[in-house]
Amino acid sequence: MGLLRFTMDLFEGLGSEFAPPAPAPARPRRSKKKPVPPVAPPPAVVAPAAGLPDPDAPPAVPLADTLTLANFAHPQATREVVLGSARVAYEFKRGKRKTIGFLVGADGLSVRAPRWVALRDVDAAIHEKSDWILRKLTETQQRHARVEATRIEWKDGAGFPFLGEQIVMRLDPKHGFASVGGTLDPAQGDAPRVLRLAVSQNAEPSQIRDAAQAWLMRQARKLFIERLDHFAPLLGVRWEKLSLSNAATRWGSASADGSIRLNWRLIHFRLPVIDYVVAHELAHLRVMDHSHRFWETVESVVPDYDVLRQQLKDETVPRWN
């Protein structure tokens, strides 16, 4: 096989905060065509550097009634400022740079300034950028709250989403699961379906988690194969091998030899979203880039791919730890 091309698909929405610590490194492959460059989600948002501060700008507002203020505190904060109705405690560092820089990350606001700029002028620059800073801080906080709300508790009676539907775990060691390790009860009315795991009632959370993960990965493999077999003939391609991945920033990838990698955590999402990712990777067996022709190929089997693609970006992967 002379021409072997490899495409990585880095989808936004899998932030490092709820991802396993070390993302699998991209495996370099011999290639004659240029590979599609990976587009990793940025770790933090950086504001355009502020110009020289306006010396007439008002100084930081003194702390008056902090009880009514929204609070954004960076763990390494050394200074704080009131912006509108928010108190913002920020990390402040001076360095060899020419402009004042702002960065909003998971921890909060960091401000970097040249050594020679007066603190009063730093405050003025922060006020000048206050709309941007508050918007980013609010977005980051909301995102964090959404992710926290999805944290899975590994105990009897707790649940997690499976194919977009909330299911509940029951620890049921007496059930004769043999090799399967768990079974999902059929739906009964509006009550959430019950996943019976062959784990003892006093099992450690990590044992419950491992049993649930093993079950989910089996379901993922079974479903992914079914969906690959559904879409491959429609696209006129052949897939050869499926691997399940757990990568931090990747939902899937495809290589020209017909190998497909899919992230098993997709099994948390609704089937149409999974189908979009499956069709996306199979479409790469025909078009190995993200060109207009590629998206037309995806659209031929998933007409509403654009909506589903956006939904995938908006999805929150449940927190496992």
State the binding string over 212-251 for Zn ion (x if CB under 5 A, else -).
Answer: ----------------------------------------
Closer Cβ to Zn ion, 37 or 189, answer by number: 37
Q: Please, which residues bridge with residue 87 across strands?
A: 71, 82
Closer Cβ to Zn ion, 221 or 286, answer by number: 286
> Which residue's Cβ has the minimum distance to Zn ion?
9
Q: Amino acid identity, residue 84?
A: G
> Which of 11, 42, 20, 21 lies closest to 262, judged by CA?
11
Closer Cβ to Zn ion, 9 or 80, answer by number: 9
Q: Per DSSP, which regions of 132-283 are E strands?
A: 159-162, 165-171, 182-184, 194-197, 241-245, 250-255, 259-263
Q: Counting contacts by CB under 5 A, is residue 121 touching Zn ion?
A: no
Distances in Å between the Cα of 40 and the Cα atoms of 8, 268, 311 are 11, 22, 18
Distances in Å between the Cα of 201 and the Cα atoms of 49, 171, 213, 297 are 56, 6, 18, 50
| Smallest separation, CB 169 to Zn ion (Å) | 34
Stretch that binds Zn ion, among 6-14, 144-152, 171-179, 223-231 (CB under 5 A): 6-14
| DSSP 8-state assignment for residue 66 | G
The first and second tokens of residue 311, run together, are 């939904």
Stretch that binds Zn ion, among 3-11, 79-87, 98-106, 219-227 (CB under 5 A): 3-11
Long-range contacts of residues 115-118, Cβ cutoff 8 Å, at least 24 apart: 117/53
| Smallest separation, CB 292 to Zn ion (Å) | 13
Number of residues engaging Zn ion in binding (CB under 5 A)? 1
The binder of Zn ion chosen from 6, 9, 103, 199 (CB under 5 A) = 9
Closer Cβ to Zn ion, 60 or 254, answer by number: 254
Query: Which spans of this chain sit near Zn ion (rule: CB under 5 A)?
Result: 9
